[in-house]
């Protein structure tokens, strides 16, 4: 075997072993990992209260409380309606800015999405 | 006015249903009132000229979680309890959260269940759970006529002036409910010129005094509304929202929140927030119920009777 051929084999094997070494991610491997842009409603709070994302990506809210909540933007851009326990709502943010929102049933619950 | 023989007889037997306290507020003084008049005439809806009204609240049709998987069932039981009352109330006031998620099918189911009441006259105000679709389209398409879709309105019955107010569509930044200036201006004008001996009953979903601000239990601009009511000799304020009875007397005004027919909530500050409270199944009926209100013009007074399902 020529040295070049061995080198290609080596790198080929290395590449294969690197791929095998990467632990599998749960769910599909999307370009914007959905888990990163997640907000939960838990114990009458939005968590996290402030989330920074890139323009063009989506946020998914999930209600973990026994009491319904809503995701209602202060400027009227998005509104989920009543979300029962385990219901979700997703909204895609195209433009940069700070988007304040609250729960219209419990308006003390306030949070924001910061889009860069 | 109170017949002595029937008073004696009535003291020997209690009224329908479970535990309840009956008292009379007259000129700011609380005094016990027996139930002789209530039990003496079984078919009249106004006994000896004393009209009886029913408050039902927080039926939350559509709720199906642990705290009560069958809210339609407990509402049916409640209606059975009301229909068995010895004196039929002249009308029903529903102080809101008729539905749990403002869904059309929930409103339909609630209407169907409420039609089982032998009381035909129903007046409602919305709770925040009834208007989660923003403008309250579903609620107002069904119940908006009385208020020309504004949510607030008044009417008279048996010499009593009733005022329905909405405080769930104008929340304050701190989470308390709100009436808004337009409604307050309307209220002021509505009450103007009425004799101060006119008995007043005001009903709105959220408490019209601050019970616990961190949980939004109150109405931010209620003080202004109360200022218009102060001059009247008998004012009864009926609220819901908190799924438990809390009461306050201020001069001639009695403030009262009713139990839910669906599920209880924790006492103020006990736990992370005002969510459904799961209790032992034999305890649940004792925490659900309705309120009946008796209003007298002469002497000017009002009395409240809270009754539980079990």
Is residue A55 in some structural domain?
A: yes
pLDDT at residue A2 in the model: 52
**Confidence band for B96, pLDDT divided at 50, 70 and 90:** very high
With an 8 Å Cβ cutoff, the interface of chain A facing chain B consists of 43-44, 65-68, 70, 79, 81-82, 84-85, 104-109
CA A15 to chain B, closest CA, distance in angstroms equals 51
pTM of the model: 0.81
Q: Does A92 reside within a domain?
A: yes
Residue among A44, A82, A85 whose CB faces B273 most closely: A44
Interface test with A, best of B105, B218, B275 (most A CBs within 10 A): B275
Q: Among B86, B134, B26, B81, which Cα is nearest to B259's?
A: B81
Domain presence at residue A57: yes
Distance of residue B63 Cα from the nearest chain A Cα, in angstroms = 9
The position carrying tokens 């139930």 is: B35
Which residue in B106, B175, B241 has the most chain A C-beta atoms within 10 A of its own C-beta, making it the best mutation to test that interface?
B175
The pLDDT value recorded for residue B34 is: 36
pLDDT tens, B106-127? Answer: 999 999 999 999 999 999 999 9
Residue with tokens 């209620």: B222
The answer as to whether A87 is a domain residue is yes
**What's the average model confidence in pLDDT over A72-98?**
95
Structural domain that includes position A103 = 33-115
A108 and B214 in contact by Cβ < 8 A?
yes
Residue B257 to residues A42, B220, B246, B249: CA-CA distances in angstroms? 27, 17, 5, 12
Q: CATH number of the domain at A50, please.
A: 2.60.40.420
Domain annotation covers residue A1: no
- In chain B the domains, ranked by start, together with CATH numbers, are 54-308 (3.60.21.10)
Check residues B12 and A95 and name the one with the higher pLDDT. Answer: A95
Cβ–Cβ below 8 Å for B65 and A44 = no
Report the SS3 class of residue B214: helix
Rounded Cα–Cα distance for residues B89 and B177 (Å):
29
| Smallest CA–CA distance from B99 into chain A, residue | A82
A79 and B66: CB-CB below 8 Å? Answer: no
Q: How far apart are CA B294 and CA B89, in angstroms?
A: 9
Domain-embedded: residue A44: yes
Q: How many domains does chain A have?
A: 1
Degrees (nearest 5) of the Cα angle B221, B222, B227? 110
Assembly ipTM:
0.72
A7 domain residue, yes or no? no
Residue A78, domain member (yes or no): yes
Give the least confident one: B69-83, B170-184, B259-273: B170-184
Beta-carbon separation of B174 and A108 below 8 A: yes
CA of B178 vs chain A CAs: smallest distance (Å): 12
> Are B102 and A81 inside 8 Å of each other by CB?
yes
């Amino acid at each position: 075997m020529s040295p070049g051929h061995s080198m290609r084999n080596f790198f080929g094997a290395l590449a294969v072993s690197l791929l095998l070494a990467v632990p599998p991610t749960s769910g599909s491997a999307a370009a914007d990992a959905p888990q990163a842009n997640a907000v939960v409603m838990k114990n009458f709070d939005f968590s996290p209260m402030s989330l920074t994302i890139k323009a063009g990506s989506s946020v998914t809210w999930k209600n973990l409380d026994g009491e319904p909540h809503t995701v209602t933007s202060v400027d009227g851009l998005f509104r989920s309606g009543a979300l029962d326990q385990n219901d979700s709502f997703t909204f895609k943010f195209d433009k940069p800015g700070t988007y304040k929102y609250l729960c219209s049933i419990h308006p003390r619950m306030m949070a924001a999405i910061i889009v860069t | 006015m109170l017949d002595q023989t029937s008073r004696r007889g009535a003291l020997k037997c209690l009224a329908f249903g479970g535990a309840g306290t009956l008292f009379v507020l007259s000129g700011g003084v609380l005094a016990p009132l027996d139930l002789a008049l209530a039990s003496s005439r079984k078919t009249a809806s106004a006994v000896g000229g004393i009209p009886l009204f029913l408050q039902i609240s927080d039926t939350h049709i559509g709720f199906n979680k642990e705290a009560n998987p069958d809210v339609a069932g407990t509402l049916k039981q409640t209606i059975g309890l009301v229909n068995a009352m010895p004196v039929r109330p002249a009308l029903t006031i529903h102080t809101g959260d008729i539905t749990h998620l403002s869904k059309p099918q929930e409103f339909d189911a609630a209407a169907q269940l409420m039609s089982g009441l032998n009381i035909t006259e129903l007046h409602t105000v919305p709770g925040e759970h009834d208007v989660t679709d923003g403008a309250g389209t579903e609620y107002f398409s069904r119940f908006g006529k009385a208020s020309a879709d504004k949510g607030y309105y008044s009417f008279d019955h048996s010499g009593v002036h009733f005022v329905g107010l909405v405080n769930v569509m104008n929340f304050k930044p701190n989470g308390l409910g709100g009436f808004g200036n337009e409604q307050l201006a309307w209220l002021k004008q509505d009450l103007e010129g009425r004799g101060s001996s006119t008995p007043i009953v005001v009903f709105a979903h959220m408490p019209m005094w601050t019970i616990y601000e961190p949980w939004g239990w109150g109405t931010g601009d209620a003080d202004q509304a109360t200022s218009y009511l102060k001059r009247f000799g008998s004012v009864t304020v009926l609220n819901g929202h908190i799924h438990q009875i809390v009461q306050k007397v201020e001069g001639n005004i009695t403030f009262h929140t009713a139990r839910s027919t669906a599920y209880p909530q924790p006492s103020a500050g006990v736990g992370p927030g005002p969510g459904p409270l799961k209790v032992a199944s034999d305890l649940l009926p004792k925490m659900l119920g309705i309120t009946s209100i008796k209003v007298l013009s002469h002497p000017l007074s009002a009395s409240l009777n809270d009754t539980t399902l079990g």
